Amino acid sequence: MPVQVTGLTANVVAVAGSDHDSCAATTTGVLCWGLNSDDQIGNNTTVNSLVPVAVSGIGTGVSALSSQTANTCAIVNGGAMCWGDNARGQLGNNSTTASAVPVAVTSLTTGVQSIAVGDAFACAVTSAGAAVCWGDNAFGQLGNNSTTASSVPVAVASA
C-alpha cells in the first residue's frame, strides 16, 4: 500500500529512486532519503535518513533526476550535476573522488535535455541532439567503441 512521503505533499516536479535511496525535485530544490553510505543523498554527510533532507547547493531550476545505487544526477538550470560514489568517474567531473554534494559535470553546464544514471555510469542528451556518457565502461556502456572508463563525458559513437 502506498504511503505519503513525509513533507512532500505538493510542488514535486520529478522523482527518482534506486534500490537504497530516493530523491524528489520540488519547485524549491531537491530532497533525498534512504541509505547514505556513499554520499548518495547529497546533504554533505554519510548519515542515513528516514525522511527527505535537502540536497546541498541545489535550489530552483531542477527539471529532471535519475538515480542508481550509489549516485544521483540532476538537470539544474540546463546543466548536469551529480553526487555520490565516483569510483569509476560516474560523477563526470574529471575525478574519481566521491562527493557528498552535487558537482557540475564537465562540459555539461548548459543545454542538457535529458539524463540517465546506470550502474556506475551516466548519459545525457544535449540540446544539439548529441548523446554523451561518462563513468564505468567495462562492457562498452559509454558507446564510444572502447571499454575504458571515462571521468568526463565522451560522445556516443554513431553507427
pLDDT of residue 158: 86
**What pLDDT is stored for residue 40 in this prediction?**
95
Q: Which residues contact 29 (CB under 8 A, 6 or more apart)?
A: 54, 55, 58, 59, 60, 62
The full set of domains in the chain, from first to last, is 12-155 (2.130.10.30)
Q: In b/e form, how buried is each residue of 53-66, taking b as 16+ CB within 10 angstroms?
A: bbbbbbeeebbbbb
pLDDT tier at 21, thresholds 50, 70, 90:
very high
Three cell numbers at 10?
A: 505538493
For 85-129, what is each residue's pLDDT tens digit? Answer: 999 999 999 999 999 999 999 999 999 999 999 999 999 999 999
What is the reported pLDDT for 135? Answer: 98
The whole-chain average pLDDT of the chain stands at 96
CA angle 110, 70, 12 (to 5 degrees): 60
- pLDDT (0 to 100) of residue 159: 73
Tens of pLDDT, residues 35-91: 999 999 999 999 999 999 999 999 999 999 999 989 999 999 999 999 999 999 999
Mean of pLDDT values over 145-154? 98
Determine the average pLDDT of the residues in 30-36. 97
